[in-house]
Structure 1
Amino acid sequence: MEQAVRLSVRPALPSLSESKPARLIVVAILYFMQGIPWGLSTVGISAWLAANGATPVEVGVFIGTAVLPWSLKLVNGLLMDRFTFKPMGRRRVWIIAAQAMMAIVLLAMAIDAPTVGQIGLLAAYCFALNLCATFNDVAIDGMVVDLVPDEERTMVNGMMFASQTLGIAAASFVAGQLLMSGDISSTALTFAAFVAIVSSVVVIFRERPGERLLPWSKGTASRECEERQHSAWLPIIAGIFRSIASPLTVLFLLATFLNQAVWAFIDAASPTLTIQMLGWGSDQYSSFAAMVGLVAAIAAGVLSPLIVRITGLRKSIIILFVLLGASAAIGGATFDSWEDDRIFMTIFMIQYVVGLLLSILLIVWAMRICNPAVAASQFALFMAIPNLGRSLMSGNSGWLVESGGYAVTYYAVAAITLVALVLCLLAKVGKSEAVPIPALPIKSSITKEKKYEDD
């Protein structure tokens, strides 16, 4: 009897707002899961298509369509800032629903089993899969802005990207091996089972103390959730417009849009370049991309806070931009003299690692200027713009490759990257006085202004 009483009063696991280790565990798991749709779409299936004769245009259009939901995240953010089940927190119910839908889409793909000739159907399934992942992404980003203290954000951003990149690497490798048999059904079923099992971990952590673990559990909405969750559209939309009112913010968003040129090349041009020009197999490309992703993930977790601490945020961003532009220019200048794949492999590794580090630092800056009251919507906008750039440039890369060749495409990446650097300099990214934090439009009439020091 006494033992039963002790079990009934056993304390719950610490909430995410209370426990740094719990925050890190949940964020790492969720970002790893986000990497599965991306790795499956942009590496595994795209290499499979290239190996079976798809043209650069077809691969580019497939990838551009598959990753398009990542540019629509503002809609997700608006929904999350407007609607939630408050007793379970602001974001958690959305995360659980998104993970469940991801498993369902994968299961449907396994049952339908589209063939390599059904590129449109494959693109539709990957679109739906990435749409689920974007709901997860927007929800966890909003949760991080809500719950993570300022001093943890550089480290958390590095860990977020490291986890996502690990997920991409793992999905790329596994998909590459499974698709060697030409069986999309077993591939999708394997990922569906994995998503269902691993996602169950996030259910056991509450956002804040006293909230419900599940819809039918006991608990109440937290004060922060009641204050920050809006009951009308106008405050959310007004907060978003305020977030982009500064010309410097507009320049920054344009820079993040153009910065995706290197990722568009990696996503859409690299599969056909390696498989159809360099003679690789689809499994070889998937394994190589997975290995580079693993290296990049380690670099993201270790180097991102280190380089900011040593050189400062602004100088780090400039250095990384220059490295990206230079590597693409070298690719264009040397392409016609390539005798093997060593130069490509070197450039690919540099672009992947440096591109990931740069993305982390740009997101650190974007997160610093987010208003917690509309964090999901505002941060979703900041992330939707570069994702739109990645989707559009991926979708059109095939036309550039077929009309101008891979050397011209490398040069285009270098030129676009240089323009993005200039825009970042004009936007004064990394300077504490450049972009003030918007007033907090929480339900009280009190407004606050906060400035952050440059790392």
Structure 2
Amino acid sequence: MAATFVLRDSARIRYLTGSMMYFAQGIPQGLLAIAIPAWLASLGASASDIGTYLSVIVLPWAFKLVTGPFMDRYQFLPMGRRKPWVLGAQFGLTVSLLALMLIENPAQQIGLLMLIGVLINSFAATQDVAVDGMSIDLTPVREQGRLNAFMSFGKAVGWGVTSAISGLLLVNFGMQVTAIVAASVAGVVLVFFVLVLEREGERRLPWTAGKAMATRLEGHSFGAVFKGVNKVLWKRASVLVMMIMAFDGLVYGYGQALMPIAAVRLFGYTTPEWSQLVAVMGLIGAGVALALGPMIDRFGAKRMLVVTMSLVGVHAFLIAQTQFLWQDTTYVRIMLSIWILMLPVVMVCSIALAMAICSSKASATQLAIYMSVANLGHSAGSKIYATVADRASYVENYMFLGLLVIGMVIILLFHRHQHEQQEQKPREGARNFTVGTGVGGAGLYFSGAMRCPKCRADMEQIDYEGVEVDRCSVCNGVWFDEGEVEQLASRDAARAIDTGSARQGKKQNKVDEYRCPRCGGGMLKKTDQEQSHIWYETCGDCHGSFFDAGEFRDLAQVTVSDYFKRLVKPKRRES
């Protein structure tokens, strides 16, 4: 009997599976977006065709959030909530990579190449959304940061290795062999995932033995989701962030089309040399980007983005004005390496800026919209290059790239955002959804409800006299947004809201290392000043609070027994 890997039971299996699935997502990125453009340039394809090709194949990543509601509505629970979608998308990715074997003369079949590229990326984007949803569904909050790091690293390795190897294969063996190798690697990941179960007792495949071990999660319509987001999306700060993300995409897309063509035709690089340079420097850049987090926290996302984008602009103008050094191979290699290195660094700063503006009540949907704007800008940037490439010199192209950067920096200087305090009124709008970010983008999945930070079950909204709070459907812990504890601190309200067992809450009280279920921020350990035996946690960012079952009832009333509890319970180390 074949070995079975159960995601729910093992953190190591979750890390391994997440890394492998994101590795598979990196295969089309390394092949389609890095190796093939350089190969097309070496074969004599026009800059216009290459730019158009790049602008079209990225579109599935801009619109991938539309798949979320379908995953929520159509589930085959005997195989798990998300596994059927992940398995189907990975199978589609494997088969669609084989479709590249139809390409015999890529420079003459650019239209067919674009069509197959869109198909491949559609499956890759769908797999991304499904894997993100499955990961959060099965991963405790305290492990999510580590899991995201594993998945990001897996994707970076995927596109890095794929770009380096496919660059060699395309030149020496052609598209057919490259397609077979890429599909074979994706197929290995597919076979591995067949052996993975979300929960013990479920089916590996539709026709194998097993039964449903999870309940259906009802999703929300786009209308419900975007009604809440719409209230914050069109504020001044948010509009400026959308403009910044659009310009960020324009710079990235324009540069992604320009750089491989210039590397091959102007600086004399071969396809394998360019692919290997991108692989090595891209991985180094991913490491630098991960280490940049503390600096962003210290100096702010806006300031760091201004600095990094200014460096990108100086880099573009410097290349344009140093034609006399274009024959110096060392100088060219350094300049190309700096460009590749800066891409993931700028991406991390941009995402941090977008996250800072997001409302805690609809943060993930709002962030997903910002990322879609960036991806659309990416597509537009590549298309702009396709339009102007044949009419402008390389000096003019690099100068235009620098001007795009200047435009983005100017908009950044107008950006002013201070964290607004939560309005102390009933919560309206969309539920909290979750976003997963990696080296290549961000993924949105619809869970249908906010998740309990301690037991990972769905939380249901409870309305008490017009004020809505979230209560876990399993452990009965209660989440209060900022100001709601004070509004509801009466005995009647506490009895109506906090209906769980105090004994059960005492067990859950031991879990105090987790992320905020509302905004993902760090949770601070708190003790009630008057009743020191009541321990709870408060988010340091959105200032919401989580009480285990029975704690809020206890908080709302003072009894004689509280005096003895205070003597027995040890003093808590607050954070």
Aligned to 2:348: 360
Q: Summarize the Cα distance change of 1:427–1:80 in structure 2 as closer, same or farther, 3 Å threshold.
A: farther
In 2, Cα distance between equivalents of 1:373 and 1:212: 34
Aligned to 1:253: 242
Match of residue 100, structure 2, among 102, 109, 131: 109
Match of residue 280, structure 1, among 269, 278, 281: 269
Aligned to 1:4: none
Aligned to 1:220: 212
Q: Summarize the Cα distance change of 1:81–1:434 in structure 2 as closer, same or farther, 3 Å threshold.
A: farther
How much does 1:103 deviate?
0.7
Aligned to 1:338: 326
**CA deviation profile, 1:139-170 (whole Å, cap 9, x unmatched):** 33445565666776665555444332322221
Q: Summarize the Cα distance change of 1:311–1:207 in structure 2 as closer, same or farther, 3 Å threshold.
A: farther
In 2, Cα distance between equivalents of 1:86 and 1:108: 31
In 1, Cα distance between equivalents of 2:149 and 2:422: 22
Cα contact 2:29–2:159 (8 A) shared by 1: yes
Count of residues in correspondence between the two structures? 439
How much does 1:315 deviate?
4.3
Q: Which stretch shows the higher mean deviation, 253-262 or 82-91?
A: 82-91
Aligned to 1:394: 382
Match of residue 444, structure 1, among 452, 461, 471: 461
More strand by share: 2
Aligned to 2:394: 406
Cα contact 2:250–2:380 (8 A) shared by 1: no
Q: After the TM superposition, which residues 323-334 of structure 1 pair with which residues of structure 2 at under 5 Å, given as runs?
A: 323-334=311-322
Aligned to 1:416: 404
Q: After the TM superposition, which residues 172-211 of structure 1 pair with which residues of structure 2 at under 5 Å, given as runs?
A: 172-181=163-172, 183-207=174-198
Q: Which stretch shows the higher mean deviation, 203-212 or 411-420?
A: 203-212
Q: Which stretch shows the higher mean deviation, 328-337 or 272-281?
A: 328-337
In 1, Cα distance between equivalents of 2:209 and 2:410: 53
2:269 is paired with a residue whose SS is coil
**CA deviation profile, 1:401-428 (whole Å, cap 9, x unmatched):** 3333223332333332343345456555
Counterpart amino acid of 2:105? T
In 1, Cα distance between equivalents of 2:315 and 2:142: 33
How much does 1:379 deviate?
5.3
How much does 1:79 deviate?
2.8
Aligned to 2:567: none
Counterpart amino acid of 1:387? N
More helix by share: 1
Cα contact 1:239–1:374 (8 A) shared by 2: no
Does 1:165 pair with 2:156?
Answer: yes
**CA deviation profile, 1:257-293 (whole Å, cap 9, x unmatched):** 2112342244211122111112222222222222222
In 2, Cα distance between equivalents of 1:144 and 1:427: 34
Match of residue 22, structure 2, among 11, 31, 46: 31
Where in structure 2 are there 5+ consecutive unaligned residues?
Answer: 433-448, 450-459, 463-467, 470-479, 482-517, 522-539, 543-575
Q: Which stretch shows the higher mean deviation, 48-57 or 145-154?
A: 145-154
How much does 1:393 deviate?
0.7
In 1, Cα distance between equivalents of 2:141 and 2:363: 17
In 2, Cα distance between equivalents of 1:454 and 1:343: 45
Aligned to 2:62: 71
Counterpart amino acid of 1:290? A
Of the two, which has the highest radius of gyration? 2
Q: Summarize the Cα distance change of 1:269–1:153 in structure 2 as closer, same or farther, 3 Å threshold.
A: farther
Aligned to 2:572: none
Cα contact 2:59–2:118 (8 A) shared by 1: yes
In 2, Cα distance between equivalents of 1:260 and 1:84: 34
Aligned to 2:227: 238
Aligned to 1:15: 7
Cα contact 2:267–2:327 (8 A) shared by 1: no
Counterpart amino acid of 1:288? L
Cα contact 2:79–2:205 (8 A) shared by 1: yes
Cα contact 1:80–1:91 (8 A) shared by 2: yes
Cα contact 1:300–1:356 (8 A) shared by 2: yes
Match of residue 385, structure 1, among 369, 373, 382: 373
Q: Summarize the Cα distance change of 1:373–1:395 in structure 2 as closer, same or farther, 3 Å threshold.
A: same
Cα contact 1:98–1:135 (8 A) shared by 2: yes
In 1, Cα distance between equivalents of 2:257 and 2:200: 45
Cα contact 1:89–1:211 (8 A) shared by 2: yes
Does 1:121 pair with 2:112?
Answer: yes
Counterpart amino acid of 2:394? Y
**CA deviation profile, 1:61-95 (whole Å, cap 9, x unmatched):** 11112222222223223433444335545433322
In 2, Cα distance between equivalents of 1:418 and 1:156: 36
In 2, Cα distance between equivalents of 1:243 and 1:68: 25
Q: Summarize the Cα distance change of 1:144–1:295 in structure 2 as closer, same or farther, 3 Å threshold.
A: same
Cα contact 2:7–2:198 (8 A) shared by 1: yes
Cα contact 2:55–2:382 (8 A) shared by 1: yes
Cα contact 1:77–1:380 (8 A) shared by 2: no
In 2, Cα distance between equivalents of 1:145 and 1:179: 38
Q: Summarize the Cα distance change of 1:151–1:359 in structure 2 as closer, same or farther, 3 Å threshold.
A: farther
Counterpart amino acid of 2:249? Q
1:260 is paired with a residue whose SS is helix
Q: How much identity, in percent, do the aligned residues show?
A: 27
Q: Summarize the Cα distance change of 1:386–1:88 in structure 2 as closer, same or farther, 3 Å threshold.
A: farther
Cα contact 1:372–1:440 (8 A) shared by 2: yes
Aligned to 1:295: 284
**CA deviation profile, 1:364-397 (whole Å, cap 9, x unmatched):** 565684889995x655433222111111111221
Cα contact 1:260–1:389 (8 A) shared by 2: yes
Greater relative contact order (Cα < 8 A, sep 6+)? 1
In 2, Cα distance between equivalents of 1:435 and 1:260: 31
Q: After the TM superposition, which residues 80-99 of structure 1 pair with which residues of structure 2 at under 5 Å, given as runs?
A: 80-86=71-77, 88-99=79-90
2:129 is paired with a residue whose SS is helix
How much does 1:41 deviate?
1.1
Counterpart amino acid of 2:247? L
1:444 is paired with a residue whose SS is strand
Counterpart amino acid of 2:7? S
Cα contact 1:138–1:380 (8 A) shared by 2: no
Where in structure 1 are there 5+ consecutive unaligned residues?
Answer: 1-6
Q: Summarize the Cα distance change of 1:414–1:113 in structure 2 as closer, same or farther, 3 Å threshold.
A: closer
In 2, Cα distance between equivalents of 1:45 and 1:345: 20
How much does 1:175 deviate?
1.3
User: TM-score w.r.t. structure 1 length?
Assistant: 0.82
In 2, Cα distance between equivalents of 1:119 and 1:234: 38
Q: Which stretch shows the higher mean deviation, 234-243 or 166-175?
A: 234-243
How much does 1:192 deviate?
0.8
Q: Which stretch shows the higher mean deviation, 241-250 or 161-170?
A: 241-250
Give the alignment's Cα RMSD to 1 decimal.
3.7
User: TM-score w.r.t. structure 2 length?
Assistant: 0.66
Counterpart amino acid of 2:250? A
Counterpart amino acid of 1:114? E
